[in-house]
Every structure is written in C-alpha cells, then in structure tokens.
Structure 1
Amino acid sequence: MPYSQIISLMIALILVVGAPSGPEPLLSCMTILVLWLLKTSAWICLTVWLLNRSLATRAPSLVLEKLQWASLIPLIIDFYLLEIKSLLVFLPGVSFFPTIIEITGISLFILYLILLWTSYWWVLRRKGLLKSPLREDLGFRLRLILPFLVLYLILSVFSDLLGVIPSGKFQELLKKPFAELISFTLFLILILLFMPPIVRTMWGCVPFPKGPLRTLIENFLKRTNISFREILLWSLNGEKSCTAAVLGLFPGFRYILFTPCLVRHLLPQEVEAVLSHEVAHIRHRHLLWYAFFLGTYTVVLYRLIDPLGTWLISRRLFLEILTRLQYWPDTISSFLAVLPLGILFVLYFRFLMGYFMRNFERQADLSVFGTQGHPWNLINALEKVALLAGNIRNQPNWHHFSIAKRVDFLNRIARHPELKDQYEKKLLLSKGLFIGIAGLLIIIPGLLPTQSWEDSAKSNLTKLYIERLASNREQRPELYIIIGNIFTQKKEYANAVNAYKHALDLEPENPEILNNIAWIYATADDPEFQKPKEALMLASKAARLKPEGYILDTLAESFFVNGYVEKAIEAEEEALKKDPSRTDYYRSQLQRFKKAASD
C-alpha cells in the first residue's frame, strides 16, 4: 500500500486548506506565472541532480521516497509565497463547490510528484537500470494513489452538495459537534465499504486463474474460516513487485491479492505461508485497528484543539508572540498556524501508528507457527522477495521491519517459542495503553476550566494593547481596532465604540473602523446601541472605500435593519460574488433576508 504517498497527500490538503485567500495577490498573474515556471524548472533540476548523486550510493529508491515528501516544498511556495489561492477563489463554480480549490491544490502536488517520477525514470533509464517505458511507469504510480483521490473527490462533492441545501435549520444542524461526528463516522464507513471495489477496478486486478494453486488458496481460506469476495491477481509494475495484500474489512467487500511475480517465483507451500500472514491481518482485526487509529486521531484533535488554543492565548508570552505576528504577512502567519497541525499529523501517523503497523506485520508473521508449525517457508518467501526486489533485505521501512529483522525474529521464535507469548502480551499492553491514553485525552477537555482561560485571554489581550498604547507616543489605529474587537466579542459595546472612535480620529477614512462601528449599530442586542440610520451611513461609506465581501455583508445587514430588504438581498449577493470563501455564511444571510421578504 502507498502509505507514504497517502500521508503526503493529506499533508498537502492541510496546506491548501490552511493557506490564506486575500482579496487579491500582491503579484500580477503574469509575474506569478513566470515565477512558477522558474521555481518548477529549478525543482526539476534539483531532483535530477539529487537522483544522479544517489546512484553512487546505490539507494535511488530511498532518495525518491524522501523527495516525494520534499515535493511539498514547491506546493508551499505556490500557496504561501505566490499566494495562488487568491486567484483560485475566482475559478468558475467555486461559490457552489469550494472543493474546487482543494482539488486544484492537490492536482498541483500530484504534478510535482509526476515531475519527480519522470526525473527518476529518466535517470535510471539513462543508466540502463530501468526497461519499462515512461507511460507505463507513471501509470503504475498514479494508479496506486488514484483510488484514494477518487474517493476523496466523491466525499468532497457530496459534502459540498449538502452545503447548498436551502435550509437554514439543516445547515445549522450540520455545524453542530454531534452532527460533525456522525458525518465523519458515515464517511469512514463509506470508505471501508467502497474503497476495496474502487481499488480493484483502478489497480486493474483480475480473477486468479483456476488451477492447483488457486485450489490450495481456497482450501486454506476455508480451513481458517475466512470469507472473501474474490481472489485476484494484482499486476504491479515490472517483475520486482512481489507482494500480497488483503483489501476490505467486511467479507462481502474483501479481496485477496497476489502479484504475478509472487505466484511465479514462490513454491506452493511458500505461497501458503504468505497467505497465512495476510489472513492473520484479518483474524487479528488489523484493518479495523487502522480505522480506529484514524477515528481516534480525529476525535482527540477535535476535543483538544479548542481547549489547547484557549489555554495558549491565556498565556501572556504567547499573546505577545501573536500580537507581533499580526504585523507579518498573512501568508507567513497562516503557514505558522498550519505547521503544527502538519507536524502533529506526521508524528501521529508516521511514528505512533507506524509503531503499531510494524508490530502488526510482525504479529502476522507469527501466524505461520500456527498454520504450518514452523517459519521456514515464510523465511524462504521473504528472502526470495528481498532478492527479486533488488536486494532490499536490509532496507528500512517506517511501516515494516526490514526483511532481515523479520527473518531474525522468526528464527529467534523458532529457537525460543516462549518468546511468542511474551511478544503477544507486549503488543496487547501497547494497545491497552493507547486506548487508555486516548480515552483520557477525550474526557479531560470536558473537565478543564476553558471559560476561565478564555476570560483570562481576553483580559490579558486588552491589557497588553492598552499598555502598548500608553507606552507608544505614536498612536496606532490598529491597536485601538484590536481593543475594540475584544470589547465587541465581550458585548461591552460602550468600550468597543469608544476604542473604534479613537481609531477613527486617527484615520477618518479607514473602512475597517467604519465597518466595525456600523456592525455594532446594526446588530447590537443592547437597545442603547441599536442605531440603524448611523449604521447605514457608516456601512455605505465603508463599502464605497472598500467594497469587499465582509463590508458588503455589514451594508446588507444595515439595509435590513432599516427595512430595505431588497437592497439587503442585492448587497449580500454582491458580497457572495466578491468573497466565495465564506459562501456558507453569505447564503445563510440571504436565506434570512429572503424569508423576511416573503413574510
């Protein structure tokens, strides 16, 4: 399975989603295009140079894997330096299907992978180390990740379709934590159900031919009470791909896969030993554990991210760092915000889940003692696979122990059978610890004083900016704006308006300040600050100075509270056109205005 590519694709998705989308990029479209071409050309030259150097160490495949991760760098440049997301938000259809931006970003990352794979093919082909044509080589690599991309596309389009259902109550329900958890669970079930048949189709698998070997496989599966949909031949690229796999958690969607290389070079008893390993993944429910790891990561992150963020901003030092970051470009601050999530994702899946994956493979190896009574056939199979794959016996792997280590472990168990039970107990303890720690991480956020932290954060932030204003002779309107924003969130409208007016004295034509005061006058729940006419005057001036989506939304709200419903609808529709990134919010506003117009 292409685990590394899948994880890197998910990191790419995080980077694309977290990238800022300003009103317009700092550079012109032509400048961005020229810089993109220069950057991509430099990337190609760098990969060719590094791959050529790797031939001297006879480890080009290891360098290729590292470069596949490094392919995230040109994507980061695209979205955080060239700011191409600011252009993508204006693609046709984005307002209805925001996933188009994510698909474009993932497509760019795949383009960089294709350029890397092409460089790899060219370097090896030039040295006579590869015989397959480029089209075949690229087709094989793309087919490995294509099923996951197709399933992601289907789920994303389905999610976008749910987002356009014209029901305010339904949209509010979708945003509730319980509904989000149910949606994630349903998506996970859909993945488990439909991934196997999608993979079968896109990987070009065909039924295993009838004959003595298929009969041996079927008898073994019957003897071990394993239900399956079909036994398949999985044609991978070239003769070096000798492997087997199990696809599918549920019997009706489960496939047993063998590559032709494995069938051609292994003896029947060795094929049975490999099959014993694959069947052990089913018997020990390893596939279910992988789904559990994914679900646990999502739930724990969902539970922890808000309390952790609240605690951090309640710390004075962290607040000071944040206030300095606000003067940095949005692209840098956005990247710094996304970076911890990407690192956490890699640490969890590459290391913690990688630990369990390696040990699950080892546990599956041990099954041969129960089915054949000895490990010699499996050891022979592993040694043949290592030789056929290009002498990879000692090559490390983050989700498998090296073949040398696997063979050594099987030999040790054969000499000391009591070690098998010790190992099983150790793995069981590891799983218990994981469940216990994950459970605590899910429960603990509900016991934390998050409201106290939030109050402390707002108080500290207010004090921090007031101190800066007091110590700075040069009055800065942006500091007053931030103080006003804090008071607005606390619904301390008098203090908020006072801060905004101080800022307005310093910059009378600042549309942000005009917009913020207008929003308070249009939406405040305190009758003293409900001033519809002043709100409309201020919002109109702000919209003339800066007709951005969020300011047009304030104008629409001001029209609405003054009774000009049709004008409110027109302004909100214009806001939707200007800022497709907040489509859901603007649509909910439009629904509210249209409902009022029809009553």
Structure 2
Amino acid sequence: LFRNRIEALCEKTDLKHADILHWPLFGGRMITAGVMGLIGRFRYILVTDALLQHLETQELDAVISHEIGHIKKNHLLFYLFFFAGYLLLSYATFDLIVYVLIYAEPVYRFLEESGIAGGSIHSAVFSFFIIAIFLFYFRFVFGYFMRNFERQADVYVYTVLKSGQPLISTLEKIAEVSGQPMDKPNWHHFSIRDRIDYLQKCESDKRWISRQDRKIKKSIAVYLSFIIIIAGIGYHMNFGKTGKRLSAHLFEKILNQELEKNPENANLYGVLGDVYYNSNRYPEAARAYETAITFKPDNPRVLNNLAWLYATCKDEFIKNPERAVRLAGQALSYEQSPHIWDTLAQSLYETGRMEEAIDAAQQALDLAKGDRTYYKEQLKKFLAAAKAGRI
C-alpha cells in the first residue's frame, strides 16, 4: 500500500527514480525519509520503519512531497555547488594564511622565548585557520542554505497536496516520538515550532510560499557574487600581477628573516639579489649580490648575475660595464657555461670592445646545447654593431 502511494506521488510529479528502499537509520526508529541520487536512473527514495508505522497515508504523502521538493528545487545539485565553493574559498585563502603566518613572526619569537617550539606554533596556527574557515563556512553559510532549502521543501507540499496540514501533524508526531523540544533548532533545520508556524502562515496566505522562493533566489545571487569575488581574488593571488608581487614580497620577507638568523649565508644573499633584480630593485639587488660574493667569492652564479646587472642595468648610477667584464671573467674561471660567456660578451659589447665581444659570443654559441636561437641572435647583434663601426 505504502509503496503504491509513493509510486503514485512520483508519477504525479514526474519524479524518476530507480527504487524505494528501506532505510535502517538508528534502527529505523526515526520518522524520516530521504532521497539519494541526482540522476533518475540512479535515484533512490529511502523510508524508515517508524515513518511507515506512525504516519497516516496523507502524512506519508506530505513527507514524500517534501523529499520530492528537494529534487524539484535542485537542492542536491546546489549542495555540490556549495562544496565546490568551499574548495574555492580554501584555495583562495591558503596564501593569505601563509602571509599571516610569515608576518606574525615577532609573536612566534616571543612564544619561542617562552619555551614553545616554533614548528608547533606554526602548525597550530595554520590548523586553527583551516578549521575555523571550515567551521564558519559549513555552520553559517552551508547551514543557512540547508535550513532554507528544508523550508522550501516544506512549502513544496502545496504544489502536490491541497493543504500543508498533514505535514504539520507529521512534525508534531516527530516531536512527540523523538522527545525533541519543539523550539530547539539546529544548524541544518529550523526548529519544529518554526517549521509549523511557517506552514500555518502558508495555510492562511499562500504568498508566503513565493516569499521563500524569492528569499532563496536572492541568497543564491549574493552567494554567487561572493564566490565570483573569491575566485577573482584567488586568480590574482596565484596567477595575476598582484599575486606575483605578493609572492616576491613574501619570499623577500622569508629570506630576510633567515638572514637575521644566518647573517653570513652567501647563498641567501644571492637568492635575495635575484628577488630584488626580478622586482627591478637594482640598487638592492647589487648590494645583495656584492654581499654574497664578499662571503663566497667563488660562486659563479652570483658573479654572473652581478656582472649581467652591471652590464645591462638601465639605471646609469648602477651600470658598470668595466666591473661587469671583470666579474664575468671571474665566473668563467670557476664554470665554463654558455650563459656566462654570453654575459662576458654583453659586458664587452657595453664597453665597446667589439672583437672580444664577438669572440665571447662565439664561445657561448659553441657551448650552447638545445635551442641556440638566443645565442645566434646575440652574435648577430655584435657582428652588426662591429660592421656599423661601433668602437
């Protein structure tokens, strides 16, 4: 009998489903039902023993109508969308959390001096932010939509049945059987009293039904706007110019913090010089490279980078081609690489020593492997300059 009534309701509302199944939730003692599956051929309607035992036929119709409302209003699809929104939010805020961890370094040092391990502090703070975002999103954002989707499913009963009274009496029975206080809400449902009161409003004025639909549409529009903003922030933080600047600034901050602990670490100064150079902060880059070779004068990478900076810098106060020639020569004494020969060639070119520049460029081209286009273009440039009579 019950199966026939459920089947009839599904046929009336054109709800496709694969089967109606027994749901042993809490041993089947809960008066509830559910729908599982987005696609009709994989969709199942679930009912508990208590639902079938305690409800009259019209009340059963009301509960199934409620579940049908979830499908017709695409609530399951929206839930997937909200989960995707959380993943996007987590992705967009990850870098922000890292920035907070880095800039809160003075606080960590104070705690470390109090005897708390630095690694434990970082892990605890990072975990706190991750858990806080998770709880806030699902408790307040996801929970808000769940409660209002449940109310929308409640009022969908008026689409299937003439009255919402069977659902009202069902809610009263749920409170009686479960012993749950009628005024007690939770994060995913309004209280039973709130649900009954809203249904009674709909009984007297059907405009409350459309008001709930409009409320959800407006809420989704606000949520979509929020997600679009978060997506924009996430994109700019990870792929845009803003993100690159922040990443460079963050990297600089980390390097300077490490240098405070290891003030004679030449490798750190070399990397810091690279950060400054890529940010077009040429005076700072020159100082960092000079400090690096002071502590480690046999580093060909730093020698080459400093030589290239002095040879090509647009800032005339920084540019020093003669020193660039000497630095590139030093780098070559430690490593015979095409890019270092190219630096020497460029430095010689900037000093007007064309024949030597051509010889160095030819050495770079001869040593180059793979794509040699750049080195060919460099040699061509120097040959053209020599032919033009640049001395």
TM-score between both structures, scaled by the size of structure 1? 0.44
Q: How does 1:526-565 map to 2 (within 5 A)?
A: 528=331
What's 2:272 paired with?
487
Q: What does the per-residue CA deviation read over 1:422-467, in whole Å, with 9 as the maximum and x for residues that have no partner?
A: 222111100111111211221244366222333334455566677x
Q: Does 1:263 align with 2:52?
A: yes
Q: Check the 8 A contact 1:243/1:259 in 2, yes or no.
A: yes
- What secondary structure does 2:45 align onto? strand
* d(CA) in 2 for partners of 1:310, 1:333: 10
Q: Does 1:477 align with 2:270?
A: no
Per the TM alignment, residue 293 of structure 1 is displaced from its structure 2 partner at its CA by 0.5
Per the TM alignment, residue 384 of structure 1 is displaced from its structure 2 partner at its CA by 0.9
* d(CA) in 2 for partners of 1:529, 1:214: 86
Compared with structure 1, are the counterparts of its residues 409 and 524 closer, same or farther at alpha carbon in structure 2 (3 Å cutoff)? farther
Structure 1, unmatched stretches of 5+, are 1-211, 470-475, 505-516, 533-599
Equivalent AA in structure 2 for residue 387 of structure 1: E
* d(CA) in 1 for partners of 2:257, 2:58: 73
Higher Cα Rg, which structure: 2
Q: Which residue of the other structure, out of 214, 217, 220, is the alignment partner of 2:3?
A: 214
What's 2:66 paired with?
277
Equivalent AA in structure 1 for residue 47 of structure 2: F
Q: Check the 8 A contact 1:249/1:288 in 2, yes or no.
A: yes
* d(CA) in 2 for partners of 1:214, 1:329: 62
What's 2:133 paired with?
344
Q: Does 1:454 align with 2:271?
A: no
Per the TM alignment, residue 329 of structure 1 is displaced from its structure 2 partner at its CA by 3.3
Q: Check the 8 A contact 2:101/2:122 in 1, yes or no.
A: no
Equivalent AA in structure 2 for residue 449 of structure 1: T
Structure 2, unmatched stretches of 5+, are 278-284, 306-327, 336-391
Q: How does 1:39-188 map to 2 (within 5 A)?
A: none
Q: Which residue of the other structure, out of 26, 31, 44, is the alignment partner of 1:237?
A: 26
Per the TM alignment, residue 408 of structure 1 is displaced from its structure 2 partner at its CA by 1.2
Equivalent AA in structure 1 for residue 18 of structure 2: R
What's 2:90 paired with?
301
% identical equivalent positions: 29
Aligned length: 296
* d(CA) in 1 for partners of 2:304, 2:230: 37
- What secondary structure does 1:449 align onto? helix
Q: What does the per-residue CA deviation read over 1:476-497, in whole Å, with 9 as the maximum and x for residues that have no partner?
A: 5378589548527738799479
Per the TM alignment, residue 338 of structure 1 is displaced from its structure 2 partner at its CA by 2.0
TM-score between both structures, scaled by the size of structure 2? 0.65
Q: Which residue of the other structure, out of 123, 128, 153, is the alignment partner of 1:334?
A: 123
Per the TM alignment, residue 248 of structure 1 is displaced from its structure 2 partner at its CA by 0.8
Compared with structure 1, are the counterparts of its residues 383 and 448 closer, same or farther at alpha carbon in structure 2 (3 Å cutoff)? farther
Equivalent AA in structure 2 for residue 233 of structure 1: H
* d(CA) in 1 for partners of 2:253, 2:180: 61
What's 2:282 paired with?
none
Q: What does the per-residue CA deviation read over 1:69-103, in whole Å, with 9 as the maximum and x for residues that have no partner?
A: xxxxxxxxxxxxxxxxxxxxxxxxxxxxxxxxxxx
* d(CA) in 2 for partners of 1:269, 1:524: 86
* d(CA) in 1 for partners of 2:332, 2:88: 41
Per the TM alignment, residue 404 of structure 1 is displaced from its structure 2 partner at its CA by 1.4
* d(CA) in 1 for partners of 2:35, 2:60: 14
Compared with structure 1, are the counterparts of its residues 439 and 477 closer, same or farther at alpha carbon in structure 2 (3 Å cutoff)? closer
Per the TM alignment, residue 219 of structure 1 is displaced from its structure 2 partner at its CA by 0.8
* d(CA) in 1 for partners of 2:216, 2:192: 20
Compared with structure 1, are the counterparts of its residues 238 and 486 closer, same or farther at alpha carbon in structure 2 (3 Å cutoff)? same
Per the TM alignment, residue 330 of structure 1 is displaced from its structure 2 partner at its CA by 1.4
Q: Which residue of the other structure, out of 287, 290, 296, is the alignment partner of 2:79?
A: 290
Equivalent AA in structure 2 for residue 450 of structure 1: G
Compared with structure 1, are the counterparts of its residues 246 and 524 closer, same or farther at alpha carbon in structure 2 (3 Å cutoff)? farther
Per the TM alignment, residue 305 of structure 1 is displaced from its structure 2 partner at its CA by 3.0
* d(CA) in 2 for partners of 1:462, 1:294: 37
Q: Check the 8 A contact 2:36/2:43 in 1, yes or no.
A: yes
Q: How does 1:349-368 map to 2 (within 5 A)?
A: 349-368=138-157
What's 1:248 paired with?
37
* d(CA) in 2 for partners of 1:244, 1:354: 20
Q: Does 1:382 align with 2:163?
A: no
Equivalent AA in structure 1 for residue 151 of structure 2: R
What's 1:39 paired with?
none
- What secondary structure does 1:226 align onto? coil
- What secondary structure does 2:144 align onto? helix
Q: Check the 8 A contact 1:280/1:364 in 2, yes or no.
A: yes
What's 1:579 paired with?
none
* d(CA) in 1 for partners of 2:73, 2:147: 14
Per the TM alignment, residue 229 of structure 1 is displaced from its structure 2 partner at its CA by 0.9
Compared with structure 1, are the counterparts of its residues 456 and 365 closer, same or farther at alpha carbon in structure 2 (3 Å cutoff)? same
- What secondary structure does 1:227 align onto? coil
Q: Check the 8 A contact 1:465/1:479 in 2, yes or no.
A: no
Q: Check the 8 A contact 1:310/1:450 in 2, yes or no.
A: no
Q: What does the per-residue CA deviation read over 1:298-340, in whole Å, with 9 as the maximum and x for residues that have no partner?
A: 123324433x3576589xx545446667883312211211210
Q: What does the per-residue CA deviation read over 1:213-250, in whole Å, with 9 as the maximum and x for residues that have no partner?
A: 11111011011000011100111234632210001111
Equivalent AA in structure 2 for residue 438 of structure 1: I
Compared with structure 1, are the counterparts of its residues 338 and 311 closer, same or farther at alpha carbon in structure 2 (3 Å cutoff)? closer
Where relative contact order (Cα < 8 A, 6+ residues apart) is larger, the structure is 1
Aligned Cα root-mean-square deviation (Å): 3.7
Q: Check the 8 A contact 2:19/2:43 in 1, yes or no.
A: yes
Compared with structure 1, are the counterparts of its residues 305 and 479 closer, same or farther at alpha carbon in structure 2 (3 Å cutoff)? farther
What's 2:189 paired with?
400
What's 1:227 paired with?
16
Per the TM alignment, residue 264 of structure 1 is displaced from its structure 2 partner at its CA by 0.8
Compared with structure 1, are the counterparts of its residues 406 and 523 closer, same or farther at alpha carbon in structure 2 (3 Å cutoff)? farther
